[in-house]
Structure 1
C-alpha cells in the first residue's frame, strides 16, 4: 500500500527537523546533546575576563584556579595571579563574572590545589576547617570576613591535588562539602582532575566514595598514559581503567589547549579523528577538559572542536 503525505504534513516535518538541527548546534558547546567542554580560568591575564569566556557559549564548566594555600596553620588563600588579589584589593570584579556565567548556563567551580602553591591536609580537623572556610566564603554560607568573590556563590569545588604527600583527609573534605549541600538543600558539585595514571596518588580513594559528579582525567605530562598517535594503547587502557573503577557521573578527556600548556598536546584534527570516537563509546563520557583558557585563547582550540565534542 502506498502511503501519501500531505503538503502540510511534509512542511511540519521539515520545520521539526530544522528546529532539532538548530537546537543541536546551539547546545553542542554546553553539552546539551553529547559532550561539553570544561576549562580552567585564573592563571594568566591574557585569558581575559570570566564573563567574556562564558559568553562565547563554548564552555559547560569553568574552574576558577586556584585555592593554592591551605593547611599547616595557614590562612587559605586564592591565587589569581594578575587578575586580582583577594588580600590586597579583593576580587569583587570576579563576582559579576560568576553571576554572568551562571546566567549563561555555565557552572563555575573553585579549584582547590593546582600545580603550584603550598597546600596540604595533615589532619581531620584541617579538612573540616577548610570545608567550613570554603562553604562560608565561596559557596552558600555566610562569612564574618570579606568574601573573596563577593556574595556570588559558586556551583561547587574542583579537586586538583598535585603536590605533597598522600592525605586521606581530602575524602573528609569532600564528604563535609557534600553534607553541607544536603543540609541546606543546595547542590554542591564536586569535580576532580586526577593524573591519567591509575590509581592517582592523591585522589583515587576520595573518588571511590561516589560523591564526585565530573572527573577530568589529565592526559598530559605523563607519557605512560597520555595519547600517542603511534601507540594509543596506554591512553585507551587508562581511560577504561578510570571509567570502570570510579563511580563518577561523567568523565572528561583532559588535554592541553596548546603545545606550551604541557606535554601530551593533541591537535584538534587528531582529537576529532582518533580520540573522540573511542571515548564516546563510553556511556559515562562527558566531554573534553582544556587546560587552560589562556592557551585556548591563543589556539582557538575550543572553537575547532566544540561541534564535535
Structure 2
C-alpha cells in the first residue's frame, strides 16, 4: 500500500511546491482587461497598480494584414516608446501584457511567416531598430474577430509564433456565430487562453435574470476541442454594450458557481472604459478561486 501511495504523495508535494513558487513569482490569470482605447483609462501603469488584473491587453495593432501595421494608441500617444517603462513595471509586478490585433486593414495580405517575424522582432522577444513600444518585450498576442469575409490564416500565424519561442497566445471571439479566422486558430489547441465576448449578442448573452441562454452558450464553448483556459468576457456597465450586462451580485451568486464547475474555467475578462473601476474589485475575489484554474494554467505556463 505504501508503495502505491508514494508516487501520489510526491506528485502532490511537487504540485504544492510549484503552486507556492508560481504564486510568489507569476500571477496566474483570472481577471483580464483591455487598455488603449479610452481616454478615461488613465495610464497603463495606473491599471497595473490597481492590482485588479493579471493580464492587460494593449489595443490595438491595426493594418497588420496590409504590410503597413500601425499601433493605434493615439488617445494616449503618437510616439509610444515611453510605454516601455510602464510595461516593464507591470511585468515586474507579475502582470502579463499582450498586444491585441485589431482591424487587419484592406489590401494584399501579409503571409503568416512574414507577419510572425514582424510581431516577434517588433513586440516580442526579437530585435528591431524600430520597436513601437521601445525595448519592452510583450508576453503575447491576442487574435480578434475581424470583418466578415476577411480571410486570415490565424492558425498558421499561431504556429509560426510558437516556433520562435515562448509566447502566450489568446483569442477574443464573440459568443455567438463563430468567426472562421478564430475558429481555425482555436482548433489548433495552441492558444493558452480563449476569452469569449458574452455580450452584444442576445443569442448567447445574459438578460433579465435568465441564465439559461448564457449557460447553454458556456457549455458549448467549454466542450470545444482546442481550449485550454476559457474566460467569460463581461462589460462593466450597461452603457458600454447593447446587451449582456451582468450585475456583480448576480455574476457572483448565479453565474460564477455554474461556469467554475467547468475544468476549462480560467476567469473573467472585464470590458470597460475605466470611468469608474468598481466592477472588478467587487467580483475579483469570487472570480479568482484558487485551485479552479491553477492546474490548467500550469500546463500553459511551463
- Structures share a fold, TM > 0.5? yes
1:151 paired residue among 112, 135, 139 = 135
Q: List gaps (5 residues or longer) in structure 1.
A: 1-22, 182-186
Q: List gaps (5 residues or longer) in structure 2.
A: 1-18, 288-302
Asked whether the equivalents of residues 37 and 289 of structure 1 are also in contact (C-alpha less than 8 Å), the reply is yes
Asked whether the equivalents of residues 45 and 83 of structure 1 are also in contact (C-alpha less than 8 Å), the reply is yes
Distance, in Å, in 1 between the alignment partners of 2:75 and 2:124 is 23
Correspondence 1:61 to 2:39: no
CA gap of 1:253–1:120, structure 2 versus 1, over 3 A, is farther
Correspondence 1:106 to 2:106: no
Residue equivalent to 1:92: 81
CA gap of 1:120–1:104, structure 2 versus 1, over 3 A, is farther
CA gap of 1:122–1:206, structure 2 versus 1, over 3 A, is farther
1:308 paired residue among 272, 286, 292 = 286
Asked whether the equivalents of residues 122 and 167 of structure 1 are also in contact (C-alpha less than 8 Å), the reply is no
- Give the ranges of 4+ consecutive aligned residues of structure 1 lying more than 6 Å apart after TM superposition: none
1:26-70, Cα deviation, whole Å (9 max, x unpaired): x7xx965xx610000000121011111111211010000001222
C-alpha displacement of 1:81: 2.9
1:46-100, Cα deviation, whole Å (9 max, x unpaired): 101111111121101000000122223x410110131011xxxx21221111101
* 2:138 counterpart SS class: coil
Asked whether the equivalents of residues 27 and 94 of structure 2 are also in contact (C-alpha less than 8 Å), the reply is no
Residue equivalent to 2:5: none
Asked whether the equivalents of residues 31 and 37 of structure 1 are also in contact (C-alpha less than 8 Å), the reply is no
CA gap of 1:274–1:45, structure 2 versus 1, over 3 A, is same
Asked whether the equivalents of residues 198 and 242 of structure 1 are also in contact (C-alpha less than 8 Å), the reply is no
Give the structure-1-normalised TM-score. Answer: 0.80
- Aligned-residue CA RMSD in angstroms? 2.2
Correspondence 1:208 to 2:202: no
C-alpha displacement of 1:251: 0.7
CA gap of 1:121–1:173, structure 2 versus 1, over 3 A, is farther
Residue equivalent to 1:3: none
Q: How many residues align?
A: 264
Asked whether the equivalents of residues 215 and 250 of structure 1 are also in contact (C-alpha less than 8 Å), the reply is yes
1:224 paired residue among 195, 203, 221 = 203
Residue equivalent to 2:71: 78
Correspondence 1:175 to 2:159: yes
Higher radius of gyration, 1 or 2 = 1
C-alpha displacement of 1:199: 3.4
Correspondence 1:48 to 2:42: yes
> Does 165-174 or 237-246 show the bigger shift?
165-174
Give the structure-2-normalised TM-score. Answer: 0.81
Asked whether the equivalents of residues 217 and 251 of structure 1 are also in contact (C-alpha less than 8 Å), the reply is yes
